[in-house]
Amino acid sequence: MPRIDLKKELKHLYRASAKEVVQVDVPSFRFLMIDGEGDPNRSREYAEAVEALFSVSYTAKFMVKKDAQGIDYAVMPLEGLWWSDDMSAFAANDKSKWKWTMMIMQPHFVEETVIRAAIGAVKRRKALRAVDALRLEDFAEGTCAQTLHVGPFSEEAPTIQRVHDFIHARSALAGKHHEIYLSDIRRADPARWKTIIRQPMA
């Protein structure tokens, strides 16, 4: 059976251009999610949350590949929703007051029983407190604007402003700031990091 890559099947949502901001309609997908708060660059909670997400997602992938159907698929990229109770702190880049939901989309054919089994397997194998905080949830954003940011996260502000300007010319901001991380930041040059910036619109 050929390998399934949902990034390619959903390329209008996961392959953005840095040259333009576009409007997209995002339907409901299932995500493995975890919530937290604080500076992602300094927070042990954030690092453990991301490790838990990937550990369970890859464990589920190998469970599905080994079962009777033998489906092989690519694990989807890490995504993050970002906000603050005081949005001025978010705008001022005060990361200590940021709140986040980190998440990885799960293919529709990965049953909840598989996710529960994967969580159990990871708990037996690793001492990750964050695993207990994971949840599987449907998430739909509807109409959004998005574009691609190339470069370090610290230089995202002009790209985010372009997205907001696009929305304000047509509607109003709605929902939470959404980022999709297409690069492995442990290996790639920060100047070449690729991040989709997405913002729901009213």
Read off the pLDDT of residues 108-147 as tens digits, 9 standing for 90 and up: 999 999 999 999 999 999 888 999 999 999 999 999 999 9
Report DSSP state, residue 130: G
Distances (CA, A) of 3 to 14, 120, 140, 164: 17, 26, 26, 37
Phi, psi dihedrals of residue 176, rounded to the nearest 5° = -110, 150
Tens digit of each residue's pLDDT, the chain (202 residues): 679 999 999 999 999 999 999 999 999 999 999 999 988 988 899 999 999 999 999 999 999 999 877 899 999 999 999 998 876 666 666 777 889 999 999 999 999 999 999 999 999 998 889 999 999 999 999 999 999 999 999 899 999 999 999 999 999 999 999 999 999 888 889 999 999 999 999 9
Query: Do 104 and 169 belong to one domain?
Result: no
Integer Cα distance of 158 and 155 in angstroms: 7
Query: Do 38 and 103 belong to one domain?
Result: yes
Query: Do 118 and 192 belong to one domain?
Result: no
- Domain count across the chain: 2
Query: Do 192 and 131 belong to one domain?
Result: no
pLDDT at 87: 63
Give the CATH number for residue 201.
Answer: 3.20.80.10
Residues 6 or more apart in contact with residue 175 via CB below 8 angstroms:
141, 144, 199, 200
Tokens coding 6:
């949902």
Query: Do 135 and 145 belong to one domain?
Result: no
The alpha carbon of residue 92 and the mean position of all alpha carbons in its chain are separated, in whole angstroms, by 22
pLDDT at 105: 98
pLDDT at 31: 98
The model carries a pTM of: 0.94
Domain final residue, candidates 124, 139, 154: 139
pLDDT at 127: 85
Helical (H) or strand (E) element with 100: strand 99-106
Query: Do 116 and 81 belong to one domain?
Result: yes
How large is the angle between the packed helices 112-125 and 44-66, nearest 10 degrees? 120
Domain final residue, candidates 114, 139, 164: 139
Three-state DSSP class for residue 133: helix
Integer Cα distance of 58 and 75 in angstroms: 7
Instruction: Pinpoint the alpha helices (H) of the chain.
Output: 6-9, 11-14, 44-66, 87-91, 112-125, 157-168
In total, the chain counts a number of residues equal to 202
pLDDT at 88: 66
Evaluate whether 184 touches 142 at the Cβ level (below 8 Å): no
Give me the domain span that covers residue 86: 29-139
Three-state DSSP class for residue 103: strand
Integer Cα distance of 154 and 202 in angstroms: 27
Query: Do 170 and 102 belong to one domain?
Result: no
